[in-house]
Amino acid sequence: MNAPSDAPAHHVHHRDPSALAPEYVRRITRYLPGKPIGELAREFGLDERDIVKLASNENPRGPGPAVRAAIAAAAAELSRYPDGNGFALKAALAARFAVDAEQIVLGNGSNDILELATQAFLQPGDHAVYSRHAFAVYPLATQARGGIGVEVAARDFGHDLPAMRKAITERTRLVFVANPNNPTGTWLPQAALEAFIASVPEDTLVVLDEAYNEYLPPQRQASSAAWVAKYPNLIVSRTFSKAYGLAALRVGYGIMHPKVADMMNRVRQPFNVNALAQVAALAALADTAYVDESRALNDAGMRLLEDELKAQGIGFVPSHGNFLLIKVGDAGRVYQRLLEQGVIVRPVANYGLPEHLRVTVGLPEENRRFLAALKVALAG
């Protein structure tokens, strides 16, 4: 028997337990979410009701009344596991996009779809291609599988498709394209995008991330669901977090060849989409008028922001999403000065954009609060 020691048991071992993780996991830099309202309230002693959060590209209206009612009704029955196959939601999505239900994979947010694509198809050492200034989860999900991220230089803040095509080799299993892209708001017209997808070799999967698709004018919204019939290596990813206003519930979906879906369904958690999320998404999908109103509100808010920024001589990247990348100079300082005024936006230095801040289009009064606070922040 060992002699009793004063040290608590967990102090006995001196080896750093993080060394047990693979080297590629230890090299990961964690995702930085937008600052939560409660956190800013605690730090600055502010009233939560006075804080404006325009940091995570959420729909400022939240979900509509039909969705709230569906959630309330479903909340009465929480003891049972959700439908692990998401039958009703998949059937509605299949009808909407004229695909088979077997072509749809549901995710815990569309973030889950991105993760599942890497889990099912990326082995350590495989390459995944993505653009500079593209959504942060592409490098994260790639690194988590031991994949090698190949970042392609951006063009006018957006994806340089010819350069991305050149970066694809026989070692490339996945290529990520965000359209519109976050955080830049850049957008690729359908013809150029489809030509790119058609040019990608069959043994490389294209993950087309359309999280902000519903904010595009209808004539610009991609017919990407129909492309899946032509391109068996295409995975289209969509979400209920943005225009549908359901970010808190975490529900998204992918549309793809049934055999690709089968692989992704093998590696996903059996109950990855919770019951409230399923009923809410189903109700949200049916309420097309609400999405149209949200798009109109976003368009008006975007125009206000653009007009005011132009009037003040502040630069920005024209955006096709529900957010705007604004050039402010010393973004860290301007971010802090906005926080002091109770306005949370998103710093994007981790995207290689240290002189920009990303602001989400909010409700009219939130946009005005932001613009007034920005004026103060830039003046001082």
Ligand X SMILES: Cc1ncc(COP(=O)(O)O)c(C=O)c1O
Nearer to ligand X, 176 or 377 (CB): 176
> Does position 63 bind ligand X by CB under 6 A?
no
CB closer to ligand X, 251 vs 343: 251
Phi, psi of 352 (to 5 degrees): 75, 25
Structure-token pair, residue 300: 């008006």
Q: Could you give the CA distance from residue 339 to residue 346 in angstroms, rounded to a whole number?
A: 11
Nearer to ligand X, 325 or 377 (CB): 325
Q: Does residue 252 bind ligand X (CB under 6 A)?
A: yes
User: Beta-carbon neighbour count of residue 92 at 10 Å?
Assistant: 18
- Distance, in Å, from the CA atom of 304 to the CA atom of 324, rounded to the nearest integer, reads 12
By CB under 6 A, is residue 185 in contact with ligand X? no
- For the bound state, the minimum distance from the C-beta of residue 182 to ligand X, rounded and expressed in Å, comes to 3
Half-sphere exposure of 168 toward its Cβ, with a 13 Å CA cutoff?
22
Q: Is 239 in the site for ligand X (CB under 6 A)?
A: yes
| Residue whose beta carbon is closest to ligand X | 109
Minimum distance, C-beta of residue 310 to ligand X, in the bound complex (Å): 25
Among positions 135, 231, 316, 335, the unique one binding ligand X when judged by CB under 6 A: 135
Query: What is the DSSP code string of 205-259?
Result: EEEEE-TTGGGS-GGGS--HHHHHHH-TTEEEEEESSSTT--GGG--EEEEE-HH
Of 120 and 377, the one with the shorter C-beta distance to ligand X is 120
- Residues 87-116 binding ligand X (CB under 6 A) are 109-111
Q: Of the two residues 185 and 341, which places its CB atom closer to ligand X in the complex?
A: 185
Q: In whole angstroms, give the CA distance from residue 269 to residue 284.
A: 24
Pick out residues in 190-219 that bind ligand X (CB under 6 A).
Answer: 209, 211
Spell 217-247 as b/e; 16+ CB within 10 A means b: eeeeebebbebbeebebbbbbbbbbbbbbbb
Give the residue among 240, 270, 265 at the shortest CA–CA distance from 111.
240
Q: Is 131 a binder of ligand X (CB under 6 A)? A: no
Tokens 């492309």 sit at which residue? 227
Shortest separation between residue 44's beta carbon and ligand X, angstroms:
25
Cβ atoms 180, 212 nearer than 8 A: yes
Is residue 182 near ligand X by the rule CB under 6 A?
yes
Binding flag, residue 184, ligand X (CB under 6 A): no
* Least distance from ligand X to the Cβ atom of residue 365, Å: 24
Contact between 57 and ligand X (CB under 6 A)? yes
What distance in Å separates the CA atoms of residue 126 and residue 142, rounded to the nearest whole number? 9
* Of the candidate residues 141, 247, 302, 317, the single one contacting ligand X (CB under 6 A): 247
The answer to whether 118 contacts ligand X (rule: CB under 6 A) is: no
Smallest separation (angstroms) from ligand X to the CB of 253: 9
Binding site for ligand X (CB under 6 A): 57, 109-111, 135, 178, 182, 209, 211, 239, 241, 247, 252
